[in-house]
Amino acid sequence: MPTLSLMPPEFSVVRDDNKCIKCLACVRQCGFDAQKYDAEDDRLYAIDANCVNCQRCVSICPAGALTIYKNPPPMRPNAHWTEGHLRNIVKQAETGGVLLTGMGNDQPFPTYFDRLLLNASQVTNPSIDPLREPMELRTYLGSRAEPVSREESKDKTSTPLVPIETPIMFSAMSYGSISHEAFESLARAAKAFGTLFNTGEGGLPEDLYEYADHAVVQVASGRFGVHAGYLNAGRVIEIKIGQGAKPGIGGHLPGEKITAPVAATRMIPEGTDALSPAPHHDIYSIEDLKQLIFTLKEATRYQKPVSVKISAVHNVAAIASGIARAGADIIAIDGFRGGTGAAPTMIRDHVGIPIELAIAAVDQRLREEGIRNRVSLVAAGGFRSSADVVKAIALGADAVYIATAALIALGCHLCQKCYTGKCSWGIATQDPYRSRRLNPEIGAERLYNLLRGWSHEIKEMLGGMGINSIESLRGNRLHLRGVGLNEVELKLLGVKHAGEGM
């Protein structure tokens, strides 16, 4: 194995010695050993090759003495052979391994939310002031199938609808992939605001069962942490089939992250790798999925709606149709911008489709087949603002999942090194020295503030359109117009181009 990399460091750490007070905070706080102190020479220095630009040292430095710069590309500009390609090739030549990354797809594919504009009321349809008039953001998740006979109205196999006070939920992030402190922050905020958080595929820690009534408890292919008490404690059960950041493949949580508490929650030996198979080994058809859906409903006495989470892929509309007919109450669709703690770089960057196209296609297909009321649609994958949420609902979603935005609210700086377990912000780590940097009470407050701010903005946008209920916007694509989109894209999204009338 080569001992010297052919590629210079991606980042440079610059220290202003005139400002530095040698408090050594940067040395203590850096999770990647990029900051060093030589006691013999009384000198601080940086190992640039270790820096991932997480900005922890810059943020924590009391003297403001640190700056991190992106180094120029290590070769002459080449539109085909980009810096990213070069670094990947050199890294694989040195290691012979699969390239790994964290978070969502960061490639320059179109973001359709940025090509869609919302409508606003003017003269004939007056707008609504959300500060002075009622504005309803409460959303009900579950099957809305209406009984057609007195006998069916007494059917005990239907599951109750689940109300959430805002159409925004926290997406699946498992205990183990994120710290207990980050997990608890999500749970606390969800309960305080009246929405839901998703446990991910790692189970629910025993000390957080007080928040279970606001939990979507996930059943993934590895069945980690799944038992009768877990299923009955949650508000919604979610069968995870796919994930937007890595469609078609399983998951892998390295043994370094399987500490004693994580192992106890996942019900696996401490220090062993947690491997989730790519498929569920009891699901190879829609009929198999239907059997699992109703097994989970039977196990919880039909008191828990069952959701099925899938990746946004090329045939997503037909897949969603089958899932709806299999008895799911909720379908969660995760677009290719969705984040992850660890995924092969090539999978994350080149598999899947945008959530905007997926949610529009699924909503339209279910409407055409007359089964849209059987399921709620939840969109996920790269939601950055309240405007993205409103546009997704207009395209057909009932609610959305957010994860990356939530982690950013907790301090994440998108360094994409979650899989290393060295997160300096205490989020994607099981190291108690690092994880205790995140106070769950403060984290929950920041997440609550994010939901509050986005919800206020959603009310403002609804009021501007003359709508007083979020459910009135669902699938109402007449309130959307496209900009800079071709005819095929406009058709797939089901919207008109800007400038066209109603």
The binding site for [4Fe-4S] cluster comprises 20, 23, 26, 30, 51, 54, 57, 61
> Residue for token digits 């912000």?
425
- Specify whether the CB–CB gap between 455 and 374 falls below 8 A: no
**How many angstroms separate the CA atoms of 168 and 145, rounded?**
23
**How many angstroms separate the CA atoms of 441 and 73, rounded?**
42
Please, what sign has the CA dihedral across residues 264, 265, 268, 271? negative
> Residue for token digits 């390239």?
99
Helix 386-395 / helix 440-465 crossing angle, nearest 10 deg: 50
Helix 316-325 / helix 286-299 crossing angle, nearest 10 deg: 40
Backbone angles phi, psi at 92, to 5 degrees: -70, -30
Closest by CA position to 376, among listed 113, 145, 171, 193: 145
- Contacts of residue 426, defined as CB under 8 A and 6 or more positions apart, other chains included, come to 179, 181, 182, 411, 434, 435, 436, 437, 438
**How many angstroms separate the CA atoms of 130 and 461, rounded?**
9
Residue 262's identity, in one-letter code, is V
Backbone angles phi, psi at 305, to 5 degrees: -60, 145
For every residue of 414-456, DSSP letters joined together read: --S-GGGT--TTSSS---HHHHTTS-HHHHHHHHHHHHHHHHH
Q: Give the pairing of strands 306-311 and 330-334.
A: parallel
For every residue of 375-396, DSSP letters joined together read: -EEEEES---SHHHHHHHHHHT
**How many angstroms separate the CA atoms of 437 and 424, rounded?**
8
Furthest CA-CA distance within the chain? 86
Exposed, middle or buried: residue 499 (CB in 10 Å: 0-12, 13-18, 19+)?
A: exposed
**How many angstroms separate the CA atoms of 240 and 171, rounded?**
12
Q: Give the pairing of strands 168-172 and 399-402.
A: parallel
- Contacts of residue 119, defined as CB under 8 A and 6 or more positions apart, other chains included, come to 465, 478, 479, 480, 481
β partners of residue 377: 331
Exposed, middle or buried: residue 431 (CB in 10 Å: 0-12, 13-18, 19+)?
A: middle
